[in-house]
Amino acid sequence: MLGEAAVAEKPPRVEKKAHAPKRYPCPRCGTPGRRLFKRTRRVRHLGHRREVWWEVTVGVYKARCDCGPKHFTSTVRGVQVGAEYTNAVREKVVDLLVRDHLSNYKVIEHLEEDFLFRVSIGFIYDALEWAGKKGFVRRVPRLVPGAPKRGAVHR
């Protein structure tokens, strides 16, 4: 159709995100390390019927402590270290599975139709594991004080 061809031909949007200060604290002990160099990579983000990338620039630092690795990297808010997708994509996958009760294959179809990218089954399971570790509690209704709980036995 004409509308679909026009949508597919939109140029990809690239948003630049950076976090590479001269000094950054060690993730284990907090001792500041000195930046050795910067590393730039592209990470996929959500964009409705459009290809959206984040160009993420992070610093690689030399540790001045003996608590762990010799080198570590800074992070950009919304992107896990070494991830190919932003946390918004992970949250969307978990929402589709948990809130909308879609199967894995329906999630893949939905992301392909609405956001023009395809994820693997492994990524879906990784997103669920990530949500479990983060204590993903977004959009959970809070209990009203004094209201009876669902499934409570009344006498």
Predicted local confidence at residue 146, as pLDDT: 55
Structure confidence at residue 106 (pLDDT): 94
Instruction: Please indicate, yes or no, if residue 146 is contained in any of the structural domains.
Output: no
Q: Are residues 2 and 78 in the same domain?
A: yes
pTM to 2 decimals? 0.74
CA distances from 101 to 7, 94, 105, 132 (A): 28, 10, 12, 17
Answer whether residue 57 is part of any domain. Answer: yes
Q: Is residue 18 part of a domain?
A: yes
Profile the chain (155 residues) by mean pLDDT over runs of 10 residues: 56 92 90 93 92 94 86 91 91 90 92 91 90 66 50 47
**Which structural domain range is residue 19 located in?**
1-84
What is the rounded CA–CA span in Å between residue 67 and residue 64? 9
Question: Do the domain assignments include residue 148?
Answer: no
Give the pLDDT confidence score for residue 1 in this predicted structure.
Answer: 47
Q: What pLDDT is attached to residue 131?
A: 86
How many angstroms separate the CA atoms of 87 and 136, rounded? 12
Establish if 68 belongs to a structural domain: yes
Whether residues 79 and 90 fall in one domain: no
Q: How many CB atoms lie within 10 A of CB 60?
A: 16
- Same domain? For 101 and 49 the reply is no
Q: Are residues 3 and 72 in the same domain?
A: yes
**Pair (22, 90) in one structural domain:** no
73 and 6 in a common domain? yes
